[in-house]
Structure 1
Amino acid sequence: MMNGFEKRASLIKEKIMKTCLDMLRTTDLRGIRIADISKKAKVSQVTIYNYFGSKEALLQEVLKAYFDNIIREFEEYMNGGHTLKEKIEHIIFLEKESYKDISPGLIKELLIEDHELNQYVEKQYREKAIPLTIRIIEEGKKSGEISSDVSVESILAFIQLYMNQYETILEMAEKSGDMDQFLEGMVNMFFYGLCGKR
C-alpha cells in the first residue's frame, strides 16, 4: 500500500510520462525538450530530472509503458470472444490504431537509437505476442478454419511480411480514400487469397 508521499510521487511521474507521450504524437523526436515537457506538465525541470535522470531515460520509460499497454490490449482481445478472422485481422493490423497514436517511423527511429528499448520490445514480442499468435493459429487449424496443409511457420512468415510492409500498406490505404475498406480487402486476401471464399 502506497503512503501519501509515494502516491503523490506516482501521480507526478504519471503526469510527466503522459505529457511526454502526448508530445510524441505531434512533435518530431528532435523537437522534444525537457523544458517543453516541464512547461506542459506544469512541473519543474528539476523534478523531471529527479524522476528520470535524462530525456533518453524518460523516453525509454514512456515507450516501455506504451508497448506494455499494446501487449496487454492484444492479450485481452485475443482472449475475448472474437472470430478467427477478427483475431487474424487484429494481429496483422495491430498497429492500425497505434499508427493514429504514434507513427511507425518515429517508433522505428526510437528503437534504432535505443538498443535497450529495442531488446525490451523484441522480448515482449517473442515471449507474449508470438506464443499467443501461435495458439490462435493452432486453434484455427483444429477447428478447420485454417487449412492443415499450411504450416504454423508459413502463416507466421506471411504475417511478418504484412507487418514489415506496414507503413507502405497504411500509406496506400490512406491514399485510397477509404482506409477501412482498403485494409479489409487486404485481410480478405490474406485470409482467402485472390479467389475469395469457395
Structure 2
Amino acid sequence: MNGFEKRADLIKKKIMKTTLDMLRTSDPKRIRIADISRMANVSQVTIYNYFGSKEALLREVFKNYMDKAVRDFEQYMNEGHSLKEKIEHILFLEKESYKDFPPGLIKQLLIEDYELTAYIEKQYKETTIPLTIRIIEEGKASGEIAQEVSIEHVLAFIQLYMNQYEALLEMAKQSADTEKFLEGMVHIFFYGVCGKP
C-alpha cells in the first residue's frame, strides 16, 4: 500500500470502529451519518465516499466483525486444544459477541438487509458448519466424543443450545456468578446432569 492507500485504510477503519462502538449503545435506526461523522471526526462526505450509505456501512461493520471472529477461531482451532476447551472458547466468543451484537440487533439488521442475510447464510454453510463438523470429528478421533454419538446428534444438540443461547446468557447475568453458571452449562453439555461417566 502506498501512503494514500494506508491513510484511506486508517480512515475507513476509524469510521467502522466508531460505528461498532455506537452500535453497542444505540439502535441502528437512531444512528445517523452525521453522528458517526462527528464521533469519528471525519466529514459526512468522506463516509459516503467510502461506504455509499449508512446501510452499506452497517453491513460492512458486521461482516468485518464476523470475518475477524471466524479467522480468530480458526487460528484457535489449529493450536491443539481439547474438545472441552474448544466448546468453552465458543461459549466465551458467543458471550463477547453478545455484548457487541445482541441477537435482537442481529435480527433487526438481517430483516432490513437481504445482502447481509445472504452473507450470513453463506458463512454458516461454508464456514460454520464445516468448522463444527471438524470439531466433532476431532473429538471422536481423540475419544472425547463417544463413537455411538453421530455428527448429526452433536449438531442437533449444539443447535438446541444455540437456539436458547440468548435466554441462557440472560439467566447467567441474573445468577450470582455468571462465569460459574456458564461453566455449569458447559459441564451439562459434556456430561449431562449425572456427572462425568
TM bin, normalised by shorter chain, reads over 0.9
Secondary structure, counterpart of 1:81 in structure 2: coil
In structure 2, C-alpha distance between the alignment counterparts of 1:89 and 1:139, rounded to whole Å = 16
TM-score, normalization: structure 1? 0.94
Aligned twin of 2:96: 97
Correspondence 1:26-105 to 2 at 5 A = 26-105=25-104
Shift of 1:133: 1.5
Superposed CA RMSD: 1.3
Aligned twin of 1:132: 131
Q: Is the 8 A contact 1:104 1:167 kept in 2?
A: yes
In structure 2, C-alpha distance between the alignment counterparts of 1:10 and 1:54, rounded to whole Å = 18
Q: How many residues align?
A: 197
In structure 2, C-alpha distance between the alignment counterparts of 1:52 and 1:139, rounded to whole Å = 41
In structure 2, C-alpha distance between the alignment counterparts of 1:149 and 1:162, rounded to whole Å = 21
62-71 or 111-120, which moves further after superposition? 111-120
Aligned twin of 1:8: 7
TM-score, normalization: structure 2? 0.95
Runs of 4+ aligned structure 1 residues displaced above 6 Å come to none
In structure 2, C-alpha distance between the alignment counterparts of 1:15 and 1:112, rounded to whole Å = 26
Shift of 1:61: 0.7
Flag the 1:63–1:35 CA change in 2: closer, same or farther, 3 A. same
Aligned twin of 1:146: 145
Shift of 1:161: 1.0
Shift of 1:93: 5.0
Aligned twin of 1:107: 106
1:8-31 Cα offsets, whole Å, 9 max, x none, are 111111111111111111111222
Aligned twin of 2:165: 166
Secondary structure, counterpart of 2:48 in structure 1: helix
Q: Which amino acid aligns with 2:144?
A: E
Q: Which amino acid aligns with 1:138?
A: E
What is the aligned-residue identity percentage? 74
In structure 1, C-alpha distance between the alignment counterparts of 2:108 and 2:136, rounded to whole Å = 31
Q: Which amino acid aligns with 1:34?
A: I
Q: Which amino acid aligns with 2:153?
A: S
Unpaired segments ≥5 residues, structure 2? none
1:48-90 Cα offsets, whole Å, 9 max, x none, are 1111111001111111101101111111122223211111223
In structure 2, C-alpha distance between the alignment counterparts of 1:23 and 1:135, rounded to whole Å = 36
Q: Is the 8 A contact 2:110 2:117 kept in 1?
A: yes
Q: Which amino acid aligns with 2:151?
A: V
In structure 2, C-alpha distance between the alignment counterparts of 1:114 and 1:97, rounded to whole Å = 23
Aligned twin of 2:185: 186
